Amino acid sequence: MPVILNAVTVATVSVNNNLVSGSAFEFARVQSIYSIGIFASNSGAFCTIQGGSDIIAEEFPVPVSGIAANNPSGAAMTTTSQFPVIPDE
């Protein structure tokens, strides 16, 4: 199973149109099922997922890495960057 692990920096009020650009797996060779995990290090990030001209997910707020869902204060629980844990997050 091919895996792409990608960490990018996107400046405030900017857009990154293709996070998998240049990857060997950028274009599927056969019909495939994809699993995508998305995290941001700061709140306020939004994401839209498209496959060609099809919109897979309309713009939605990206979950912030290191903030526990049961933590009402929203204080960061960890200061390390991490990739999403699938299927948990």
Please say whether the beta carbons of 47 and 62 come within 8 A.
yes
**What is residue 66's predicted lDDT score, i.e. its pLDDT?**
61
Q: What's the structural domain count of the chain? A: 1
Which of 14-23, 33-42, 44-53, 62-71 comes out lowest in average pLDDT?
A: 62-71
Question: What is the span of the domain harbouring residue 22?
Answer: 1-89
Answer whether residue 47 shows pLDDT above 80: yes
